[in-house]
Amino acid sequence: MKTILDISILINFLCFGIVYGKNYNVLNFDAKGDGQTDDSEAFLQAWTAACGGDGDIKTLLIPSGKTFLLQPTVFQGPCKSSSIKVQLDGTIVAPSDKFAWSDPISRMWIKFSTVSGLIIVGSGTIDSRGSSFWELNLKASQRPTALHISKCDNLRINGITSIDSPKNHISIKTCNTVAISNINLFAPETSPNTDGIDISDSTNINIFDSTIQTGDDCIAINSGSSNINITGINCGPGHGISVGSLGAGGAEAKVSDVQVTHCTFNQTTNGARIKTWLGGQGYARNISFTDITLVNTKNPIIIDQHYIDKGRLTEESAVAISNVKFVDFRGTSSNKNAITLKCSETTHCVDVVMDGIDITMANGGKPKVNCQYVDGESSDTDLMRDCFKNNTSS
């Protein structure tokens, strides 16, 4: 099959001159762009040509003014060139509903794997048409991620829009050195598990200046991740920016060096959140949330170490949380219990700093703080000082 595909590409190149310089336009590989014809094979032919080209950066062009229907598709590396750019200016759509998918149990719709120097840029849109999956009330494991990127070091994503993913919009797994900026991720507030960006087993991740409005976490930072910088995110609706969940099923989890700054949580369920399962192991440390604006946020600050996994009711171990800072939070909360620090009796949350916390109730009044097993300090809030002094139980 691969030999036939390669011969087809060569014939097109020789007869029709479809490759102009370093650009590979999917229309020149017989993509129709009418939103009805399956263009998956044309995209793969264009990818094979671009990925197989030697030399400097090659560009896979998805032109504006066209709508391309794709079935679940894997864009596989490694590639010969030093970098591959996917210029997404048109619209990519998934099949109209779950039953029209060629692989209805696929866990990913569009996947890039083992492509060093991958660049995904443009003004285009990825429309996953996820509503049919939500309406069937399928488990998260039975719904696909819109854009899954694994083992792609030196990754850059800029400018694109993703709407209505069946599950999370973008998954970053086992990647090193990533920059994501000026993207838009949208799904209804009621859509289940539609995280904006999920990060796992990855390092040196920078996400900035983007808008994320979904039915779950705007950004979720999972185990194996370190040196994560998030700034300038407009989050909401959604479940905030979360570290975790960590330690499900007694697993060992490791997350460190996370900085979240200059973000806005607009009518989100949560704001800054750290969540771990009972019985987990490992650590979450060196985490800071600073310069945060709140607009009617239900739980502006929350640490929850009391997830219960598969009936586990005893706390034999816990993910150790340490060196966590919540600094310069301002705005309103819709919940009287605006701050919850519900930590593990086994490990406590250690070296927690709360400074510059200026949260008021959306309808007036002063919110409450609930603490449990927290060791920390606060220089400017009487309520927080009392919390740190008297938090062995709540």
Catalytic (active-site) positions: 239
| DSSP assignment of 316-351 | S---EEEEEEEEEEEEEES-SEEEEEE--TTT-EEE
Closest listed residue to residue 125, CA positions, set 35, 259, 13, 252: 35
Do 109 and 83 meet the contact criterion of CB atoms below 8 Å apart? no
Nearest-angstrom CA–CA distance, 115 and 75: 9
- Burial tier of 99 (Cβ tally within 10 Å: 0-12, 13-18, 19+): exposed
In angstroms, what CA-CA distances link 272 with 45, 244, 262, 275, 326? 44, 11, 12, 10, 8
| Half-sphere exposure in the Cβ direction for 239 (13 Å, CA) | 23
Give Cα separations from 105 to 22, 72, 74, 193 (angstroms). 36, 10, 15, 17
What is the C-alpha to C-alpha distance for residues 222 and 252, in angstroms, rounded to an integer? 11
Q: Which residues pair with 330 in a beta bridge?
A: 293, 358
Three-state SS at 205: strand
- Contact present, 359 and 323 (Cβ < 8 Å): no
Q: What is the C-alpha to C-alpha distance for residues 210 and 197, in angstroms, rounded to an integer?
A: 11
